[in-house]
Amino acid sequence: MFLPPRHTEILEMAKEHGRVLVDDLAVHFNLTPQTIRKDLNDLCDQRLLTRIHGGALFPSGVQNLEYEARRLIAASEKEAIGRAAANLIPDNASLFVNIGTTTEAVGQALLDRKGLMIITNNINVANKLRIYPDIEVVIAGGVVRGSDGGIVGEAAVDFIRQFKVDFAVIGTSAIDSDGALLDFDFREVKVAQAIMANARHVILVSDSTKFERTAPVRIGHLSQVNTFITDRCESEAIRRICADADVRLIETSV
Protein backbone atom coordinates (compact mmCIF):
# COMPACT_ATOMS: atom_id res chain seq x y z
CA MET A 1 0.00 0.00 0.00
CA PHE A 2 1.17 3.56 -0.73
CA LEU A 3 -0.20 7.07 -0.75
CA PRO A 4 -0.23 9.34 -3.81
CA PRO A 5 1.96 12.43 -3.31
CA ARG A 6 -1.01 14.76 -2.86
CA HIS A 7 -2.53 12.49 -0.21
CA THR A 8 0.80 12.38 1.60
CA GLU A 9 1.00 16.18 1.60
CA ILE A 10 -2.59 16.49 2.84
CA LEU A 11 -1.81 14.04 5.64
CA GLU A 12 1.31 15.99 6.62
CA MET A 13 -0.66 19.24 6.67
CA ALA A 14 -3.33 17.65 8.85
CA LYS A 15 -0.68 16.27 11.18
CA GLU A 16 0.95 19.71 11.52
CA HIS A 17 -2.24 21.73 12.05
CA GLY A 18 -4.58 19.14 13.56
CA ARG A 19 -7.09 19.54 10.75
CA VAL A 20 -7.48 20.50 7.10
CA LEU A 21 -10.33 22.32 5.37
CA VAL A 22 -11.68 21.61 1.89
CA ASP A 23 -11.63 25.25 0.77
CA ASP A 24 -8.05 25.83 1.97
CA LEU A 25 -6.82 22.66 0.26
CA ALA A 26 -8.60 23.55 -2.97
CA VAL A 27 -6.73 26.86 -3.07
CA HIS A 28 -3.41 25.27 -2.04
CA PHE A 29 -3.52 22.61 -4.76
CA ASN A 30 -5.48 24.69 -7.31
CA LEU A 31 -8.11 21.96 -7.54
CA THR A 32 -11.88 21.88 -7.28
CA PRO A 33 -13.51 21.32 -3.88
CA GLN A 34 -15.06 18.14 -5.29
CA THR A 35 -11.60 16.69 -6.00
CA ILE A 36 -10.41 17.58 -2.51
CA ARG A 37 -13.49 16.04 -0.92
CA LYS A 38 -12.73 12.81 -2.76
CA ASP A 39 -9.13 12.96 -1.49
CA LEU A 40 -10.34 13.41 2.08
CA ASN A 41 -12.90 10.64 1.73
CA ASP A 42 -10.17 8.30 0.46
CA LEU A 43 -7.93 9.16 3.42
CA CYS A 44 -10.80 8.73 5.85
CA ASP A 45 -11.69 5.36 4.32
CA GLN A 46 -8.12 4.28 5.15
CA ARG A 47 -8.61 5.58 8.72
CA LEU A 48 -5.80 8.10 8.30
CA LEU A 49 -8.08 11.10 8.86
CA THR A 50 -11.45 11.63 10.52
CA ARG A 51 -14.06 13.44 8.43
CA ILE A 52 -15.71 16.59 9.79
CA HIS A 53 -18.02 19.09 8.12
CA GLY A 54 -15.92 21.07 5.64
CA GLY A 55 -12.72 19.13 6.18
CA ALA A 56 -10.99 16.42 8.19
CA LEU A 57 -9.12 15.94 11.47
CA PHE A 58 -5.81 14.22 12.14
CA PRO A 59 -6.68 11.45 14.66
CA SER A 60 -4.25 12.41 17.41
CA GLY A 61 -6.57 11.68 20.30
CA VAL A 62 -7.32 8.50 22.21
CA GLN A 63 -8.63 6.55 19.24
CA ASN A 64 -6.33 3.90 17.81
CA LEU A 65 -5.81 3.59 14.08
CA GLU A 66 -6.34 0.48 12.01
CA TYR A 67 -3.10 -1.45 11.68
CA GLU A 68 -2.82 -1.27 7.89
CA ALA A 69 -3.46 2.47 8.03
CA ARG A 70 -0.73 2.89 10.64
CA ARG A 71 1.73 1.27 8.26
CA LEU A 72 1.27 4.21 5.87
CA ILE A 73 1.88 6.96 8.41
CA ALA A 74 5.51 8.12 8.41
CA ALA A 75 6.49 5.03 6.41
CA SER A 76 9.85 6.40 5.24
CA GLU A 77 10.65 7.61 8.77
CA LYS A 78 9.89 4.15 10.15
CA GLU A 79 12.17 2.57 7.56
CA ALA A 80 15.04 4.84 8.61
CA ILE A 81 14.35 4.14 12.29
CA GLY A 82 14.38 0.42 11.53
CA ARG A 83 17.80 0.66 9.88
CA ALA A 84 19.22 2.67 12.78
CA ALA A 85 17.98 0.10 15.30
CA ALA A 86 19.32 -2.80 13.25
CA ASN A 87 22.76 -1.12 13.21
CA LEU A 88 22.89 -1.55 17.00
CA ILE A 89 22.23 -5.30 16.88
CA PRO A 90 25.22 -7.52 15.97
CA ASP A 91 25.24 -11.01 14.53
CA ASN A 92 24.57 -13.84 17.01
CA ALA A 93 22.49 -11.66 19.31
CA SER A 94 19.23 -12.61 21.04
CA LEU A 95 16.37 -10.15 21.09
CA PHE A 96 12.71 -9.51 21.71
CA VAL A 97 10.64 -7.74 19.05
CA ASN A 98 7.16 -6.68 20.13
CA ILE A 99 4.02 -5.47 18.38
CA GLY A 100 4.01 -2.41 16.12
CA THR A 101 4.58 -1.16 12.62
CA THR A 102 7.90 0.46 13.60
CA THR A 103 9.18 -2.71 15.26
CA GLU A 104 8.27 -4.52 12.03
CA ALA A 105 10.51 -2.06 10.19
CA VAL A 106 13.34 -3.13 12.51
CA GLY A 107 12.64 -6.78 11.69
CA GLN A 108 12.82 -5.96 7.99
CA ALA A 109 16.21 -4.29 8.49
CA LEU A 110 17.61 -7.37 10.28
CA LEU A 111 17.20 -9.76 7.35
CA ASP A 112 20.91 -9.79 6.53
CA ARG A 113 22.01 -10.66 10.08
CA LYS A 114 23.38 -14.09 10.93
CA GLY A 115 22.87 -16.19 14.02
CA LEU A 116 20.03 -14.13 15.49
CA MET A 117 17.52 -15.56 17.93
CA ILE A 118 14.34 -13.46 17.78
CA ILE A 119 11.56 -13.97 20.31
CA THR A 120 8.41 -12.14 19.29
CA ASN A 121 4.73 -11.74 20.03
CA ASN A 122 4.24 -10.24 16.58
CA ILE A 123 2.96 -12.72 14.00
CA ASN A 124 3.89 -10.35 11.18
CA VAL A 125 7.54 -10.29 12.29
CA ALA A 126 7.60 -14.07 12.74
CA ASN A 127 6.10 -14.68 9.31
CA LYS A 128 8.56 -12.30 7.65
CA LEU A 129 11.69 -13.74 9.31
CA ARG A 130 10.85 -17.45 9.51
CA ILE A 131 12.10 -18.19 5.97
CA TYR A 132 15.63 -16.96 6.66
CA PRO A 133 17.83 -19.90 7.76
CA ASP A 134 20.30 -17.69 9.65
CA ILE A 135 17.56 -16.36 11.94
CA GLU A 136 15.87 -18.51 14.58
CA VAL A 137 12.34 -17.30 15.32
CA VAL A 138 10.58 -18.14 18.57
CA ILE A 139 6.96 -17.03 18.83
CA ALA A 140 5.03 -16.43 22.04
CA GLY A 141 1.81 -18.24 22.84
CA GLY A 142 -1.38 -16.52 23.87
CA VAL A 143 -4.40 -14.72 22.48
CA VAL A 144 -3.93 -13.57 18.88
CA ARG A 145 -5.40 -10.13 18.31
CA GLY A 146 -7.20 -10.17 14.98
CA SER A 147 -6.63 -6.50 14.23
CA ASP A 148 -2.83 -6.67 13.98
CA GLY A 149 -1.57 -10.20 14.64
CA GLY A 150 -0.25 -9.31 18.07
CA ILE A 151 -0.11 -12.04 20.70
CA VAL A 152 -1.22 -10.74 24.09
CA GLY A 153 -2.39 -11.91 27.51
CA GLU A 154 -0.98 -13.69 30.54
CA ALA A 155 0.21 -16.73 28.57
CA ALA A 156 2.39 -14.46 26.43
CA VAL A 157 3.73 -12.73 29.55
CA ASP A 158 4.65 -16.06 31.17
CA PHE A 159 6.35 -17.16 27.94
CA ILE A 160 8.45 -13.99 27.70
CA ARG A 161 9.61 -14.36 31.31
CA GLN A 162 11.43 -17.59 30.41
CA PHE A 163 14.09 -15.61 28.54
CA LYS A 164 16.87 -13.14 29.26
CA VAL A 165 18.01 -11.60 25.97
CA ASP A 166 20.60 -9.12 24.73
CA PHE A 167 18.19 -6.60 23.23
CA ALA A 168 14.51 -5.67 23.28
CA VAL A 169 12.95 -3.67 20.46
CA ILE A 170 9.72 -2.08 21.64
CA GLY A 171 7.25 0.42 20.26
CA THR A 172 4.61 2.62 21.83
CA SER A 173 1.36 4.24 20.71
CA ALA A 174 2.07 7.57 22.39
CA ILE A 175 4.79 9.41 24.32
CA ASP A 176 3.61 11.93 26.88
CA SER A 177 5.56 15.13 27.54
CA ASP A 178 6.51 13.77 30.99
CA GLY A 179 8.15 10.74 29.36
CA ALA A 180 5.33 8.26 29.96
CA LEU A 181 5.09 5.54 27.30
CA LEU A 182 1.44 4.81 26.56
CA ASP A 183 -0.68 2.27 24.73
CA PHE A 184 -4.32 1.26 24.21
CA ASP A 185 -4.54 -2.40 25.29
CA PHE A 186 -3.60 -3.32 28.86
CA ARG A 187 -2.94 -6.89 27.71
CA GLU A 188 -0.34 -5.67 25.23
CA VAL A 189 1.17 -3.40 27.88
CA LYS A 190 1.78 -6.32 30.23
CA VAL A 191 3.69 -8.14 27.49
CA ALA A 192 5.74 -5.01 26.72
CA GLN A 193 6.58 -4.62 30.41
CA ALA A 194 7.77 -8.24 30.58
CA ILE A 195 9.88 -7.68 27.46
CA MET A 196 11.54 -4.61 28.98
CA ALA A 197 12.23 -6.42 32.26
CA ASN A 198 13.97 -9.36 30.58
CA ALA A 199 16.39 -7.63 28.21
CA ARG A 200 19.84 -6.26 28.88
CA HIS A 201 19.42 -3.35 26.47
CA VAL A 202 16.01 -1.85 25.63
CA ILE A 203 15.61 0.01 22.32
CA LEU A 204 12.48 2.16 21.95
CA VAL A 205 11.58 2.87 18.33
CA SER A 206 8.94 5.50 17.63
CA ASP A 207 8.33 8.07 14.92
CA SER A 208 7.63 11.66 15.92
CA THR A 209 3.86 11.42 15.36
CA LYS A 210 3.71 9.57 18.71
CA PHE A 211 4.53 12.86 20.48
CA GLU A 212 1.20 14.20 19.17
CA ARG A 213 -0.98 11.32 20.34
CA THR A 214 -2.25 10.03 23.66
CA ALA A 215 -3.41 6.64 24.94
CA PRO A 216 -4.92 5.49 28.25
CA VAL A 217 -2.61 2.69 29.45
CA ARG A 218 0.90 3.22 30.80
CA ILE A 219 3.68 0.90 29.60
CA GLY A 220 6.43 2.59 31.56
CA HIS A 221 8.71 5.60 31.33
CA LEU A 222 11.28 6.77 28.83
CA SER A 223 13.94 6.62 31.55
CA GLN A 224 13.54 2.82 31.59
CA VAL A 225 14.97 2.38 28.08
CA ASN A 226 18.61 2.47 27.05
CA THR A 227 18.26 3.83 23.51
CA PHE A 228 15.46 5.89 21.96
CA ILE A 229 15.38 6.08 18.16
CA THR A 230 13.03 8.52 16.43
CA ASP A 231 13.06 10.57 13.25
CA ARG A 232 13.17 13.84 15.18
CA CYS A 233 12.57 15.07 18.72
CA GLU A 234 11.52 18.70 19.03
CA SER A 235 10.50 18.41 22.70
CA GLU A 236 13.02 19.92 25.09
CA ALA A 237 11.30 18.09 27.96
CA ILE A 238 11.92 14.74 26.27
CA ARG A 239 15.52 15.70 25.54
CA ARG A 240 16.06 16.55 29.21
CA ILE A 241 14.61 13.22 30.31
CA CYS A 242 16.97 11.39 27.96
CA ALA A 243 19.96 13.38 29.18
CA ASP A 244 19.10 13.00 32.87
CA ALA A 245 18.44 9.24 32.58
CA ASP A 246 21.44 8.57 30.31
CA VAL A 247 19.18 7.42 27.48
CA ARG A 248 20.90 7.55 24.11
CA LEU A 249 18.75 9.60 21.72
CA ILE A 250 19.18 8.87 18.00
CA GLU A 251 17.38 11.10 15.49
CA THR A 252 17.42 9.67 11.97
CA SER A 253 16.30 12.88 10.22
CA VAL A 254 18.98 15.09 11.77
Q: What is the pLDDT of residue 62?
A: 44
Q: Is residue 65 part of a domain?
A: no
Same domain, 96 and 37: no
Residue 180's H or E segment, with its range, is: strand 180-183
Find the largest Cα–Cα distance for the chain.
59
Q: Rounded to two decimals, what is the model's pTM? A: 0.76
Q: What is the pLDDT of residue 49?
A: 85
Same domain, 84 and 195: yes
pLDDT band, residue 47 (cuts 50/70/90): confident
Q: What is the mean pLDDT of residues 137-159?
A: 91
Range of the domain at 223: 73-251
pLDDT band, residue 40 (cuts 50/70/90): very high
Same domain, 126 and 156: yes
**b/e for 67-96, b at 16 or more Cβ within 10 A?**
bebbbbbbbebbbbbbbbbbebbeeebbbb
> Which contacts qualify for 102-105: CB closer than 8 Å, 24 or more apart?
102/78, 102/171, 102/205, 102/206, 102/207, 103/169, 103/170, 103/171, 103/205, 104/128, 105/78, 105/79, 105/81, 105/205
pLDDT band, residue 70 (cuts 50/70/90): low
CATH code of residue 217: 3.40.50.1360
pLDDT at residue 218 above 90? yes
Q: What is the pLDDT of residue 65?
A: 57
Q: What is the pLDDT of residue 66?
A: 62
Q: Is residue 180 part of a domain?
A: yes
Q: Is residue 67 part of a domain?
A: no
Contact (CB, 8 A) for 80 and 231: yes
How far is residue 246 CA from its own chain's centroid? 22
Same domain, 221 and 176: yes
Q: What are the pLDDT digits (tens) for 208-217?
A: 989 988 889 9
Same domain, 97 and 51: no
How many domains does the chain fold into?
2
pLDDT at residue 63 above 50? no
Same domain, 91 and 141: yes
Same domain, 143 and 227: yes
